[in-house]
Structure 1
Amino acid sequence: MGKLNDLSAAGTAVWLDFVDRKFLADGGLQKLVDQDSLTGVTSNPTIFEKAMGQGDVYAEGFAAFDAANPGAEPMARYESQAILDIQAACDTLRGVYDATDARDGYVSLEVSPYLAMKGPETAEEAARLWDAVDRPNLMIKIPGTADGVRAIRDTIAKGINVNVTLLFGIEAYRNVAQAHAEGLEERVEKGLPVDRIASVASFFISRIDGKIDAKIDAGTGGEEAKALKGKVAIANAKLAYAWWQEFVASPRWQTLEAKGAMPQRLLWASTGTKNPDYPDTLYVDELIGPETVNTMPPKTMDAFRDHGTVAQTLTQDVSGAKAVLADAERLGLNLDGVTAELVEEGVASFAKSFDDLLAAIGKE
């Protein structure tokens, strides 16, 4: 047993925010499952851009696809290889999925970032990718934008597992949690099962502190605000979790749970620290609690394995978290504005990665 195993035992599932063909082929993912209690994998356009757009690991796969599909567009070439990687990761984690009775063991594949503001098209894309991958432990990633909320509801209603991504603000998170419940309720009304439909809500952490700290360094809030550096993102996450606790205890959710529904877990994303002045395990150490997930880049996972600290931190000092957010508002740090800006930047960043990826693939 090690620190990552202890983290899992404390209620925070260990997921990896990385996928790469060589890593999969060499048994890297299986090793993490066997040794570190890893139970999930997340991917995004930036991860695939780094994997496919550099080196020649995918050359053989592209050549085989091109031979069968001459003249295929870059998007089709990308999907052919991404789906193979996701299927391989799903197969590696299938044992976890079966052992946990569909409560864990998931691999996430994101819809095209070009559709982030197109709800109906997002739902269609989610269903298409679900059919293409054809694995029960797949999660389709859908951005938690205003336009994405309906797509999340409709996708859950179809019985498709959903990873809601790009969540920064508590209000946006509440909206997608409600959409998840609505999708399940629609299935109940139709007499359809809800007991093996999983969902996570990916709540991004470090990027919030990056923005807030920059505002403080620029003088917003004066000297008093300096005490809030490195604290706002964790406080925001703690209050999101406090709301989740209230929601799953509500009569509405209890009715769904009685039908076998699994709660939508909060997943802490963007948990690698960007500021070298902060401990490199900060956004893991401070966000540990039952029914949560932390998806870590390999560097953060290695750091936590070496010197992470396991304790039930997520429910500690919630009143202090409220005070931090109250002070941030009072001092003009405008968390709501920051989170809205981060959603736009996140969508744009993933679209840029997709642009670069498709451009690189198109040149082959």
Structure 2
Amino acid sequence: MSENKVKQIHSFGQSIWLDFIDREIISSGKLKKLIDEDGVRGVTSNPAIFEKAITSSSDYDADIKALAADSKTNEELFFGLAVADIKKACDIFSDVYNEEVKGADGYVSLEVSPFLALKTDETIAQALELWKAVDRENVMIKIPGTQPGLAAIRKAISEGLNINVTLLFGLQRYEDVTEAYISGLEDRLAAGKPIDSIASVASFFLSRIDVIVDPLLDEKGLPELKGEVAIASAKKAYEIYKRVFNTERWKKLEAAGAKPQRLLWASTSSKNPAFKDTKYVEALIGKDTVDTVPLETIEAFRDHGVAGDTLELGLDNATEILEKLKSAGIDIDAITQQLEDEGIEKFNKPFEKLLQAIEDQKNKV
């Protein structure tokens, strides 16, 4: 029997995390099966994922009733539900977390409220609160990589939290995030605290870039670049990663036990039906990276995906693609800022819907 295609990805140094969580996948044993059969090595969640989980099943109804008595707000009630799920998922991934290189993988991510995306102090406070509430060394707290989020990321790292920096689209902002991570580690080390157990990923969102850029390429007479700009951006981000985590400054931290902040590819399911459904996964397999994918993309890759060491192929071409955009008058920086702004809104709306669903459930007799 040939090796599972999803598992093959791990042989190239990339970890596949599942971009999905609900109570059914935890309690049914499906999550454990994904670990055993597909080599899935972590889980990410976000407000939209939890909104779908809570509003599309009755699995949470009893807990909503029970928590309603003690929760001051619907948001507090939601985090009570979410923390319970995240704890169970962390426990399922504890063996992955504790394997030969402890802390290499096995993380489960929980995001701060999307309403805090532009609020530094409130983000710091909630990140610390959620970290303590989950109380698992393999939890990652997700903080958006917005401008106000950078200081929150630095502070959270300095406090010893594992951080998943989410909502990254632009190369400059990604480099700013690596600076926040490294500075946070330096702050912690200067305070005489250990840095060898801290892990972080920087989540670079991909297919949404092409959704915005591809129609512009048609207008500018560059249709051959459709579906390639996000991949080119990711390859350039990996170049930044390799440069930043190979400096003398970094090596001092590494000597104290620090681990590089891995790049994580997010939004890697194809939004354009003309593209192969495993296109983004196949194009960006490479060492010391993570790809978080929805269940349907894992199933597609298991069926017909092609695993190969692709991330560093065609770096010259990636540079050329971004230069062509610039020459054509397409402002990728403005586009990535637009995507960040829209991304905040895309998480706010399902969170609002989720809080209303909790309110409705509380009011049921």
Q: Using the alignment, how far apart are the partners of 2:216 and 2:30 within structure 1?
A: 40
Amino acid in the other structure paired with 1:75: E
Flag structure 2 segments of 5+ consecutive residues without an equivalent. none
* Residue deviations 1:144-180 (CA, integer Å, cap 9, x gap): 0000000000000000000000000010000010100
* Residue deviations 1:183-223 (CA, integer Å, cap 9, x gap): 00111112211111000000000000000012234x2x1x2
Report the equivalent of 1:75. 75
- Whether the 8 Å contact between 1:164 and 1:201 is mirrored in structure 2 is yes
Report the equivalent of 1:186. 187
Amino acid in the other structure paired with 1:97: Y
* Residue deviations 1:325-358 (CA, integer Å, cap 9, x gap): 0001111221111100000000011011110000
Q: SS of the residue aligned with 1:268?
A: strand
CA shift at 1:72, angstroms? 4.3
Report the equivalent of 1:280. 277
Q: SS of the residue aligned with 1:135?
A: coil
Q: Using the alignment, how far apart are the partners of 1:81 and 1:121 within structure 2?
A: 21
1:21 to 23, 43, 53: 23
Q: SS of the residue aligned with 2:147?
A: coil
Amino acid in the other structure paired with 1:81: L
Matches for 1:303-318 after TM superposition, within 5 Å: 303-318=300-315
- Whether the 8 Å contact between 1:97 and 1:105 is mirrored in structure 2 is yes
Q: Using the alignment, how far apart are the partners of 2:76 and 2:198 within structure 1?
A: 28
Q: Using the alignment, how far apart are the partners of 2:255 and 2:279 within structure 1?
A: 37
* Residue deviations 1:247-298 (CA, integer Å, cap 9, x gap): 1111111111111101000000000000000010011000011000000001
CA shift at 1:53, angstroms? 1.7
Residues 193-202 or 242-251, more deviating = 242-251
Residues 16-25 or 328-337, more deviating = 328-337
Report the equivalent of 1:263. 260
Q: SS of the residue aligned with 2:341?
A: helix
Matches for 1:323-342 after TM superposition, within 5 Å: 323-342=320-339
Amino acid in the other structure paired with 2:212: K
TM-score under structure 2 normalisation?
0.96
Residues 181-190 or 145-154, more deviating = 181-190
Report the equivalent of 1:165. 166
Flag structure 1 segments of 5+ consecutive residues without an equivalent. none
CA shift at 1:63, angstroms? 2.6
Report the equivalent of 2:64. 62
Report the equivalent of 1:214. 215
Matches for 1:192-207 after TM superposition, within 5 Å: 192-207=193-208
Matches for 1:145-164 after TM superposition, within 5 Å: 145-164=146-165
1:228 to 218, 225, 231: 225
Q: SS of the residue aligned with 1:173?
A: helix
Report the equivalent of 1:89. 89
Residues 22-31 or 151-160, more deviating = 22-31
Q: SS of the residue aligned with 2:118?
A: coil
* Residue deviations 1:14-53 (CA, integer Å, cap 9, x gap): 1000000111100111001111111100000000010112
Report the equivalent of 1:117. 118
- Whether the 8 Å contact between 1:103 and 1:262 is mirrored in structure 2 is no
Q: Using the alignment, how far apart are the partners of 1:247 and 1:76 within structure 2?
A: 38
1:8 to 3, 7, 10: 10
Q: Using the alignment, how far apart are the partners of 2:291 and 2:211 within structure 1?
A: 19
Residues 273-282 or 91-100, more deviating = 91-100
Q: Using the alignment, how far apart are the partners of 1:190 and 1:55 within structure 2?
A: 47
CA shift at 1:60, angstroms? 2.1
Q: Using the alignment, how far apart are the partners of 1:265 and 1:13 within structure 2?
A: 10
Report the equivalent of 2:35. 33
Q: Using the alignment, how far apart are the partners of 2:249 and 2:225 within structure 1?
A: 36
CA shift at 1:228, angstroms? 1.0
How much identity, in percent, do the aligned residues show? 47
Q: Using the alignment, how far apart are the partners of 1:59 and 1:214 within structure 2?
A: 43
Q: Using the alignment, how far apart are the partners of 1:268 and 1:64 within structure 2?
A: 37
Residues 272-281 or 93-102, more deviating = 93-102
Q: Using the alignment, how far apart are the partners of 1:331 and 1:227 within structure 2?
A: 14
Superposed CA RMSD = 1.0
Q: Using the alignment, how far apart are the partners of 2:31 and 2:329 within structure 1?
A: 44
CA shift at 1:64, angstroms? 2.8
- Whether the 8 Å contact between 1:123 and 1:151 is mirrored in structure 2 is yes
Q: Using the alignment, how far apart are the partners of 2:194 and 2:267 within structure 1?
A: 33
Q: SS of the residue aligned with 1:147?
A: helix
